[in-house]
A = this chain, B = another copy of it.
Amino acid sequence: MTALFAAHHTSPALSGDRFTVLYRIIGSEQEARERAEDILYEQTVEFPPDLVPAGPIRDGIVGKLEDFTVRSCCCEALVSYAVETAGEELPQLLTVLFGNISIKPGIRIEEITLPDILKKSFYGPRFGIQGIRRLAKVQRRPLLCSALKPMGLSPSGLAELAGRFTDGGIDIIKDDHGLANQPFSLYRERVRSVGRMVTEVNARRSGSTIYAPNITAPFDQLLDRAYMAKEAGAGMLLIPPGIVGLDALRVLAKRSDLNLPIMAHPAFLGSYVTSPESGISHAALFGTLMRIAGADASVYPNWGGRFSFSKEECLSIARACTVEDPYFPPIFPAPGGGMSLERAAELHEAYGENALFLIGGGLFRGTGDVAANVRQFRHLVGG
């Protein structure tokens, strides 16, 4: 044993830079302290504490408990890890943050804080709020986005719908996240039909509506579909990191020859936030992590719609998307999920101007004149 862990095998040179995670832990103070101690080992050496040899691995690689606070709901443990444990790679950062302990109930990530050196190693959002505003030619008001649906429409049907949205002056048209590459609407055909329609109607009315195709693609086709989208006139991409992986988003954001803003969709990620006692906080998942990966807008279900997020949870996401950061520009919180024209004023007041409002089925209500409904929605938020 001793020989295996001899000094020449165990002297990682560490910079001293560390990232920190605030974990919320359920249980009595003593239980929570034990669980916090366990996290330090489980997330790094994954080795029984008594077997970790004294020296650089124990001193530098094992996580450190920086603070421990007893609260009424739970305890909070602030843990730091050497940046070298993540090796400047996002997938490995996720492993250290939550890989194995995701499987242990009663531990939730509340906050993630990266040191500058780790932020620099990720590209981050290429556009952010200001970049999307430039493309959409909207200086101050909230942006409006709707979705092409329902699944089952043909490419020409979706294109016709996109034409009406564009005619109404909507800022962004995204594919519904359920549109992929189905036989009734193949990806290439859909993206070309819709892209052409949006380009034509924009030209006719001097509009700047942006089309964001959905890239729920097989691993080995994802980049091809992104470039195909760009060629077809897309001005943004919609990506579900819960399905294709958060690092796929990072790679798309970083590609300078692609140069398209990215909207992250929460599909398949809900299980991380459905329990207040496990998983990841709304702000850390839909705000911090999406921004680290390079999303320029982060979609999540708003309060009062079809889903169950509270107003406080939604506004915590918006804060994490927009809080000042020297490396990552603020990104758009993009609340949706059962929005309506009637709620435009309320949402505008709650979020202020730096939000991207998603409205889907709601635009088909009333007279059923989609373009007129878009104009009314724009008017309601000051546009």
Interface residues of A (CB under 8 A from B): 1, 3-6, 8-13, 38, 42-48, 51-52, 56-57, 60-61, 84-87, 89-92, 94-96, 98-105, 147, 149-154, 156-157, 160-161, 164, 176-178, 180-184, 216-220, 222-223, 240, 242-248, 250-251, 266-275, 278-280, 301, 306-308, 337, 360-361, 364-365, 368, 370
Contact = CB atoms under 8 A, between A and B. Distances in A.
Contact of A152 (B45, B51, B164, B364): B45
Contacts of A156: 8-9
A270 B104 contact: yes
Contacts of A161: 4
A180 B46 contact: no
Given A5-B157, A271-B271, 6 more contacts: A12-B183, A38-B306, A57-B150, A92-B182, A218-B247, A220-B223
A51 B271 contact: no
A66 to B, nearest CB: 19
Given A4-B164, A180-B95, A219 B248 contact: yes
A223 B282 CA distance: 32
B278 A271 contact: yes
A50 to B, nearest CB: 9
Contacts of A301: 103
Given A156-B9, A160-B9, A364-B51, A220 B101 contact: no
Contacts of A269: 102-103
Contact of A306 (B42, B94, B102): B42
A175 to B, nearest CB: 11
A7 to B, nearest CB: 10
B251 A102 contact: no
A243 B95 contact: yes
B46 A360 contact: yes
Contacts of A44: 150-152, 178
Contacts of A361: 46-48, 51
Contact of A275 (B52, B57, B274): B274
Contacts of A42: 306
Contacts of A153: 4-5, 9-10, 57
Nearest to A147: B46
A61 B48 CA distance: 52
A52 B364 CA distance: 11
A207 B307 CA distance: 56
Contacts of A46: 147, 149-151, 176-178, 360-361
Contacts of A306: 38, 42, 104
Which of A52, A99, A177 has most B Cβ within 10 Å? A99
Given A152-B56, A182-B87, A251-B218, A270 B101 contact: yes
A102 B13 contact: no
Given A85-B151, A150-B52, A217-B91, A267 B9 contact: no
Contacts of A184: 12-13, 84
Given A1-B368, A278-B274, A267 B95 contact: yes
A62 to B, nearest CB: 8
B180 A98 contact: no
Contacts of A364: 1, 48, 51
Which of A38, A47, A156, A222 has most B Cβ within 10 Å? A47
